[in-house]
Amino acid sequence: MVDRARKPSALATTPGLPPQPQVAFSSDNSSVTATLPTGESVSVLLYGATVVSWKDKNGDEKLWLSEAAKLDGSKPVRGGIPLVFPVFGTAPDHAQTKSLPQHGFARSSRWEFLGKSTSESTPTPTTPAFAATATSAAGAVAAAAADMSVKLDFGLSSSSLSEDARQKWPYAFNAIYSVTLNTDSLTTNLVVTNDDERSWECQVLMHTYLRVDDITTTSITGLSSASYIDKTTSPISTNTQTSPVLTISSETDRVYTPAGDSPASVPITVLSNDKPKFTVLRDNLSNVVVWNPWIEKAKGMADFEPKEGYKNMLCVEPGAVGTWQVLEPGDALEGAQTIVLGGKTE
């Protein structure tokens, strides 16, 4: 046999599909976890469609979850990203939602997992994936994997509610909740459709618990000149954020309406030691709730552990809660948040 001077190149360098995101259910089918080829992951509990974990490629957790959080469906989860619908807090004077428990039933109902979808950027002359093709097919595969995302869809409808919830809120609806994981961001998107023959009113909010290193060195920008309702005062007061930077040094429970708000809304940046840690972008959600229970409030909550956990969490919660959202028959309400690691806004 003639030993050829030019042999075929190794199989490892031939073009091929990039590694795909992996989606797996827990052993008891109570949660679903998606993991990108680059290592990032997100876990969603079917109870409440609550995001209970979001980790970067190094395995560092980005959300705060109480050590005493109930994950068995016995009560709403303390931490992660619980969903608030169709009422924020309680509304004893609102005819349609006055009988509902605090924050409604979305966070305490079992959602159906509808499936996953993936996407990746198409390589162009300016993308790393395209550049990598010129030198290494394996490099192109790795770059394409880095551009990949995975979306998990969950569904809830009036027909799947508990009998108690249907009696307290007898309106037909359909909700689709999507959780999209990218290498440097997490997006949660809720679409609610009125399937009833009557109009009804609702509020929605994404009750996001961000994990911070130290609340005393944490600050927030993007709320300057915003009006806010301070729920820690008695009576509740309305004020304006005069400082460009908000710091937390006591119990904080404020409902902000950022100035100049629009669908392409003002970015809210959470900083640690003056360095951007998270940037929260909102779509069609005109309010932002900022919450930290601080010392005494944390002590009084049985499911808040450790009691000093307030030092490592900050709730920045996009929502539409300042007024009631009216949905006529057939109308849909859509709202989304994207949490970007660091200071990126695009």
Annotated binding-site residues for substrate read 78, 102, 107
User: 94, 197, 251, 317: which one is catalytic?
Assistant: 317
Cβ contacts of 84-87, under 8 Å, gap ≥ 24: 84/203, 84/204, 84/205, 84/206, 84/207, 84/317, 84/319, 84/321, 85/175, 85/190, 85/192, 85/202, 85/203, 85/204, 85/205, 86/169, 86/200, 86/201, 86/202, 86/203, 86/204, 87/202, 87/203
The amino acid sitting at 29 is N
If you ran DSSP here, which 8-state letter would residue 90 be given?
-
Q: Is residue 111 within 8 Å of 49, Cβ to Cβ? A: yes
- Give binding residues as ranges: 78, 102, 107
Q: How far is CA 149 from the centre of its chain?
A: 15
Q: Is residue 164 within 8 Å of 101, Cβ to Cβ? A: no
Of 23, 157, 48, 180, the C-alpha closest to 101 is 48
User: 112, 120, 207, 346: which one is catalytic?
Assistant: 207
Angstrom distance (rounded) from CA 97 to CA 85: 10
No. of helices (H) and no. of strands (E), the chain: 4, 21
Q: Does the annotation mark 317 as catalytic? A: yes
């995302």: which residue's tokens? 149
Q: Does the annotation mark 305 as catalytic? A: no
């608030």: which residue's tokens? 84
User: For the chain, how many residues are written?
Assistant: 346
Encoding tokens for residue 324? 């009631």
Q: How far is CA 203 from the centre of its chain?
A: 16
Catalytic residue IDs: 207, 317
